[in-house]
Chains A and B, each alone.
Chain A
């Protein structure tokens, strides 16, 4: 296996599987794009890797961002899972937190992933103070497990009330189940989330059990296939928090991969942005049906404590905060009863897709509007799936469905579709930026995915963002993110103690043990790190509150006074005022151990020296902008040399995307081959 120095990142999307290759020895890189094989994603992955690296023995590390878990959850295609729980609580998973899907309208429906006959109760009870009220009978647990097996359960979640405060009963039950369970698919809630809030802990544990067989099989196929192809290195999976973990961890805690795919894109965005000198950025991933936005502040992504994958399907593990709205290229434009133009949430997706695909959809989409306005080249559609796009059909649909209802001509109607789409996207960006108190003038937008770069100019103007940074290869951004993602181990533990009563020595000891455990897991993965570090946070609140503020503390030499002042700083920043004379409580301890992976030099991707501005200019065509036609130059984006300056209006084409530069903007190519779009007067 000598010379095995290549690292491979793989991102599987709905249409394409993207692969990014980095040779760590000589620093060269390459990309591959092959059709996704959605019935078994591992086939496409192996095909994609083989395109550039037929000898898998030369690959040392494969890092994978996956949507296997996401899709299994959204399409309800997980395993037949069971639940063993405290007497009196078998319906908790179905009763949720007593909510409903929509504020207005009472037509909600919810089907839990575990049906009632696979939810069994055992006699046991722990109280909130951690004392055991009713001891566990292991035989009763084994009988319940046997009944679940008889009823066809492939996996099981064990959830007991208050197990965050004392996990003795739950641990004993897990051990009893494991005695007789035929596979490794046993999840105890306190093993993956020893945190107060019963529904969130149960839901996370249950969804984990629901995913385990499915994700486990997939990983088996993937690893087995790769080994069969001669691969002798390590496979790592991207977690929803943007860190990577070993395949063994992913098998045990697949619920941590619920947002694996989009997280990888955000990681790459951060690295590209930092390298290019823009540590404050907003990544904008526009696909066929959705627009995913995430904010990176000073090079760091925001982590959310939990998310609902769908109504009632709560996953509580740290995740990169990604705000998704239903505005993609395939989103349908329509006029509502009040005469207001609406975009989405209905989408034509990629099949039948926009009207211009000619595959049967007759309702106009965002892509149709971009085509009619001349912003997309109908003769050279991206992705290579279709030979040409039908502009006349797109026009007819826009005229009939939007123009007629609004009393607008077809061009005005197409422009209105783009403006409303842009304003929806701007709203999504504002939600993660302006609304959280970030000054947009300090941020740059980073579009990737197929469609984002068509809309960026309008977004930076509408929101007041500084600039836009279009990576050199927007289509493989997520795969690149896999290659550079850090390895990460997260742990939360509920302490629920008054600060005044908190045993500081015990807290320090727990931090030390958890950090040690995390470091050992990182070391076991056989992956190179520049260094490892840990982040320690306390979730704190005033006594009487139920929501916490995160308080960052440093390891070693902790004191009560220091913790209190850190809390007060965090509280004042969040709410503008402190509450005098009220005690504070420490609810949870959160520890993250992070192995920083070596980053590669992005200038490797830069254009070669023989590129020339003149040769890259291919033609010009008319583009409809602000109510009239304007002549725009067309460039082959990848052929533009470093330092070249492209004034708008212009269109830059490359195999995986098209970039539109508005008339009042201009683009320049930086040393890494990124395109920086800014206002003309600024540069």
Chain B
């Protein structure tokens, strides 16, 4: 006797009580979580396996809207994947395709589908009694998808074609039968074909598992009941979000911030936001943002909306993660803006731009409700590739994202060395990197004076130094915040700038002419590159920080004697002893 017969609830379809709703929400989230875990555990490249740059969920059969998303995947995908699924729906319609159970679409188009070429999306229709019930999707950041730069963060790209292969939605499986030709094409276009094969298989395993689990859930309850639960969960998110907006005073709240450059033209790019609150509606107007640029820091409109979703979820944490969050939100993002480009504009560095979108959200919100905001986080992922050939001729590509400080916030100082707001990634263990690639980390430390001054100080960024153990390698860096530091809020100061150091042709220390982006650095055995990542912005006026806490910061080396005096107006000895009288005088 199947357990399902015992677990039927007494509730009629269409009228869900809050208890059953909570139960179904938990079950649905567990399905997506388990899909996440399946891919993380079986993936080959550390960007997925360790950094969790992947996501799984269930999406609406007609609109592609996010119904349920795993809790452990990359937050930015929560918003972006609905656009990806919509692109598949549009393709089916446009090409007049007949969907079959067991079909799986694969693609990485970043314009309609969001994010960048490295993210391969697999979308699979889920049928229930011969009828389409929803879509399931898996997205993961692959190690290398071709293009000019190993690891695909190419700061010199001016067209997407220089960033990697671009695959439109095509069927990897038809009615459950794999098309091996597609796998062969994908593998032939990657510097890391084995890694690609492993990650692709992990994503297929995750979809298989989701298929099985969702089927079990619908057997246990009914399709109607589960559908009704999904509708109500969305309504609930929309209601909570509207309530939060209603609580804000009507008005316009603005912020602007800058990207260093696009990697091609050395000129700053503006990201500007006006938040307009009117009753229960909120408009996010990005009209004052720079035009699209030549280099790869453009993003598609779908990506811009997805990043606003992430910022809203960080600020209004109790709203459930589904498309209801965006219901009371209107977007103004002019076509041709930096935040709304189409093919073939390069978008490989999308992570940098969406971090800036999130930063302006925090700053603009802090102007009306500082108690709900926080200083900006370090604001750059510092995508670093080291690539070369081993003595036996084998190709190696080490590709990693680095961290930095989080902003000071209403409860206290910012977190030292956190992950980017768009991700929940952890960094791969250094011992695993050292075992896999010919490198040695020579420093892995917190960076003094990098936290933005504030009543609650920004968290510290980090210093990472890497030495090459093989004969030679090429290094590529894609970063930001080399010229515009992470802002504080509510009177808090800025975190430190990002700084990258490498040996030039004479072996002298050099920094990139474009501040935070660089290609084709030739490194030879024993030479080192160094990232000094930004800290977070401060929260509140630095001169109101308790002197005893500054003295402690100096004693532990988080803040220098000089910065204590300049930023905090505090006189502290190198040993961390406060001169109370001198401080009082300075602060007067």
Residues of A that sit less than 8 Å from B by CB: 88-92, 94-100, 102-110, 115-117, 125, 127-128, 133, 161-162, 164-165, 196-200, 336-341, 406, 416, 419-420, 423, 426-427, 430-431, 435, 439-441, 461-465, 496, 542, 544-547, 574-577, 579, 582, 679
Contact = CB atoms under 8 A, between A and B. Distances in A.
A417 to B, nearest CB: 10
Interface in B384-419: 402-403, 406-407, 409-419
Interface string B158-169: 000000000000
Nearest to B426: A97
Nearest to A549: B41
Nearest to A92: B444
Contact of B40 (A94, A419, A547): A547
B42 A575 contact: yes
Contacts of A128: 431, 434-435
B44 A542 contact: yes
Given A99-B424, A341-B22, 4 more contacts: A127-B440, A161-B441, A340-B236, A546-B49
Contact of B38 (A89, A109, A463, A575): A575
Greatest chain A CB density within 10 A among B3, B239, B469 is at B3
Contacts, number: 220
B434 A338 contact: no
B421 interface: yes
A106 B442 CA distance: 29
A667 B107 CA distance: 57
Contacts of B424: 99-100, 103
Given A104-B313, A426-B23, A575-B42, A116 B432 contact: no
A579 B198 CA distance: 7
B185 interface: no
Interface string B450-468: 0000000000001001000
Given A104-B75, A109-B411, A196-B435, A91 B444 contact: yes
A89 B440 CA distance: 12
Contact of A574 (B41, B411, B425): B41
Contact of B462 (A95, A110, A115, A577): A95
A90 B445 contact: yes
Nearest to A109: B412
B491 interface: no
Given A196-B429, A579-B197, A100 B418 contact: yes
Contacts of A577: 201, 204-205
Given A337-B318, A542-B198, A545-B43, A197 B429 contact: yes
A462 B339 CA distance: 48
A237 B129 CA distance: 56
Nearest to B429: A197
B263 interface: no
Given A95-B444, A127-B434, A423 B19 contact: yes
Contacts of A105: 314, 317
Given A117-B555, A125-B440, A542-B44, A340 B431 contact: no
Contacts of B407: 106
A451 B4 CA distance: 27
B443 interface: yes
Contacts of B573: none
Contact of B49 (A115, A419, A427, A547): A547
A165 B21 CA distance: 51
A403 to B, nearest CB: 14
A496 B34 CA distance: 28
B182 to A, nearest CB: 17
B342 interface: no
B439 to A, nearest CB: 9
Nearest to B42: A575
Contacts of A99: 418-419, 424-426
B7 interface: yes
A464 B4 contact: yes
B505 interface: no
Interface of B: 1-4, 6-7, 18-19, 21-23, 26-27, 30, 34, 38, 40-46, 49-50, 71-72, 75, 194-195, 197-198, 201-202, 204-205, 208-209, 236-237, 239-240, 243, 313-314, 317-318, 321, 374, 377, 402-403, 406-407, 409-419, 421, 424-432, 434-435, 440-446, 462, 465, 469, 555-558
B230 to A, nearest CB: 15
Nearest to B442: A88
Contacts of A420: 18-19, 22
Nearest to B41: A547
Contact of A198 (B239, B418, B431): B431
A643 to B, nearest CB: 26
A430 B27 contact: yes
A352 to B, nearest CB: 25
A465 B201 CA distance: 34
Contact of A544 (B194, B314, B418): B194
Contacts of B71: 103
B348 to A, nearest CB: 22
A200 B50 CA distance: 14
Contacts of B446: 91, 94-95
A132 to B, nearest CB: 13
Contact of B445 (A91, A98, A104, A542): A91
A197 B411 contact: no
A435 B30 contact: yes
Contact of A108 (B415, B431, B465): B415
18 contacts: A95-B416, A95-B417, A98-B402, A103-B71, A109-B413, A110-B415, A161-B430, A196-B432, A198-B429, A198-B430, A340-B21, A341-B19, A427-B26, A463-B7, A545-B198, A577-B204, A579-B198, A582-B197
Q: 8 smallest A-B Cβ distances: which pairs?
A: A464-B3, A98-B403, A97-B426, A128-B434, A88-B443, A544-B44, A98-B427, A95-B417
A338 B411 contact: no
Given A98-B426, A100-B419, A416-B19, A338 B26 contact: no
B255 to A, nearest CB: 16
B317 A104 contact: yes
A109 B457 CA distance: 12
Contacts of B45: 544
Contacts of B418: 98-100, 106, 108
Contacts of A89: 443-445
Nearest to B416: A94
B442 to A, nearest CB: 5
B22 A133 contact: no
A665 to B, nearest CB: 11
A658 to B, nearest CB: 23
A106 B6 contact: no
A423 B25 CA distance: 11
A75 B3 CA distance: 42
A582 B201 CA distance: 13
Contacts of B427: 97-98
A341 B20 CA distance: 11
Contacts of B42: 545, 547, 574-575
Between B19, B374, B406, B426, the greatest number of chain A beta carbons within 10 A of the residue's beta carbon is seen for B19
Contacts of A464: 3-4, 6-7
A546 B41 CA distance: 8
B177 to A, nearest CB: 15
B429 A439 contact: no
Nearest to B3: A464
B409 A107 contact: yes
A294 to B, nearest CB: 18
B10 to A, nearest CB: 9
B419 A98 contact: yes
Most buried by A among B41, B236, B321: B41
A435 B70 CA distance: 14
Contacts of A547: 40-43, 49
Contacts of A341: 18-19, 22
Nearest to B437: A128
A546 B444 contact: no
Contacts of B444: 88-89, 91-92, 95
